[in-house]
Amino acid sequence: MEALLLAFLGNKGNILRTFLTFHFILEIVTNVPFLVTIFYRPLRNIFIPGFLNCWLAKRTLENMFNDLNRAMQRSQSALSQRLMILSATLVCLIFTR
C-alpha cells in the first residue's frame, strides 16, 4: 500500500503513469505473489521472485545519495557517489543473473 501511495503521489495523481512505471511493476511482481501465499494455503509452493528486490534497494540507494548531495550542497563527492551506484548496479546484475 505504501508503494502504491508513493507511486501515485510521485506521478502527481496520474493513475496511468503510476501503473506503467518500471519500479511500480517490479514492486507488484515481487509483492503480490508473497501476499497470495500468505492468505491462500494451496499456493504455498509458488515461485516468488524476491531476488528482484535488489533493484528496488538500488533505486532507494540512488535517492538517498541524491538527497545527501542536495543536503550537503557540494559536488566533490558526486564522483564517489556515482561509483557507488555503478558498483550497486553491477552487484544487482550479478545477483539477478
Q: Could you state, in order of their start, the residue ranges of all structural domains in the chain?
A: 1-48, 52-97
Taking residues 4-10, report their average pLDDT. 67
Highest mean pLDDT among 24-33, 39-48, 58-67, 84-93: 84-93
Checking if the pLDDT of 1 tops 80, the result is no
pLDDT in tens, 21-30: 777 788 888 8
Q: Which band of pLDDT confidence, cut at 50, 70 and 90, is reported for residue 58?
A: confident
> Among 39, 29, 27, which Cα is nearest to 1's?
27
Task: Centre a 10 Å sphere on the Cβ of residue 56 and count the other Cβ atoms it contains.
Answer: 16
Q: Show Cβ contacts of residue 4 under 8 Å, excluding neighbours closer than 6 positions.
A: 18, 24
Checking if the pLDDT of 73 tops 60, the result is yes
DSSP string, 32-60: HHHHHHHH-GGGTT----GGGHHHHHHHH
The answer to whether the Cα torsion of 72, 74, 75, 80 is positive or negative is negative
What is the average pLDDT value for the chain, to the nearest integer? 78
Q: Which band of pLDDT confidence, cut at 50, 70 and 90, is reported for residue 70?
A: confident
Q: Which three cell numbers stand for residue 86?
A: 555503478
Q: Which band of pLDDT confidence, cut at 50, 70 and 90, is reported for residue 55?
A: confident
